[in-house]
Structure 1
Amino acid sequence: MISRITDSEAVVMRVLWEAGRELSITDIRKSLEETTDWESSTIKTLLRRLVKKDVVQATKREVFYYKPLVTEEEYNEYITQDLIDRLYNGSAKNLVASLLDNKKLNKKDIEELRKMFKVGGNDE
């Protein structure tokens, strides 16, 4: 289900995740007005698709309210693993090596990674 979320749908999902509560279409539209030029019909279509994909729940009251059924962490984990699988043959090490080779990590980033992996210490 997560694998089928498009980039545009992910924008809508981020609005829902950031809210941390159910949102009406009006609330979602107001939030998206700040970053997109999407019409209301576009937002409704994206929400309808997300509901059909079982990643968002729609509850009808006086209007529809929407809430995510997938957490942002679950989505990020899936997307990260998919990237590693597709581009680096499942090797996270190759991803990190690519980031280092392309100078995408600064000294602070590298030091934080060392602490995470306990590289260079007695815990090797």
Structure 2
Amino acid sequence: MADKLTLQEEQAMKAIWQTGEGNVKMFLEKMEPPIPPYTTLASTVKNLEKKKYVTGRLMGNLYVYKPLITEADYTKGFMSGFVKDYFDNSYKELVNFFVDQKKLSPKELKEIITLIESKK
């Protein structure tokens, strides 16, 4: 995967994924508040192009961008890196963390086990 994204870049990518292909104005329309100024988003999109997350081309006098990575692929890479960096590459430790923090109930854990067993 390319360089890790900042929060601002992730927000921009979400708008780009929702749009598919478009210009900065179109991406602004898809963003959740607080919406950045046009120039800030344009700069962020240029950074995303440098990081190889989007590709841009000039159409008339307007740049049009499209994603080079799917949201699913980004999420997969992000989660793999997150588990590696914070949970010693152990998904068991990740689940244990949520159980310890009382963010995952026994009922939810049983549902996860059922889901895992159904995928075998």
Q: TM-score interval w.r.t. the shorter chain?
A: 0.7 to 0.9
Q: Which runs of 5+ in 2 are unaligned?
A: none
Report if the CA contact (8 A) 1:16-1:23 is conserved: yes
Q: CA deviation at 1:61?
A: 0.3
1:51-62 correspondence to structure 2 within 5 Å: 51-62=49-60
- Cα distance in 1 for partners of 2:91, 2:108 equals 16
1:41-120 correspondence to structure 2 within 5 Å: 41-62=39-60, 63-118=62-117
- Cα distance in 2 for partners of 1:11, 1:46 equals 10
**Paired residue type of 2:110:** E
TM-score of the two chains, using structure 2 as the length reference? 0.87
Q: Which runs of 5+ in 1 are unaligned?
A: none
Report if the CA contact (8 A) 1:17-1:72 is conserved: yes
SS of match in other structure, 2:104: coil
- Cα distance in 1 for partners of 2:18, 2:111 equals 26
- Count of residues in Structure 1 that have an aligned counterpart in Structure 2: 118
SS of match in other structure, 1:23: coil
Alignment root-mean-square deviation, CA: 1.9
SS of match in other structure, 1:103: coil
Aligned to 2:6: 6
Q: CA deviation at 1:112?
A: 2.5
* Closer/same/farther in 2, CA of residues 108 and 24 from structure 1, 3 Å limit: farther
Q: CA deviation at 1:29?
A: 1.9
Report if the CA contact (8 A) 2:16-2:66 is conserved: yes
**Paired residue type of 1:98:** F
Aligned to 1:36: 34
Percent sequence identity over matched residues? Answer: 25
- Cα distance in 1 for partners of 2:105, 2:12 equals 31
Report if the CA contact (8 A) 2:18-2:30 is conserved: no
- Cα distance in 1 for partners of 2:10, 2:71 equals 10
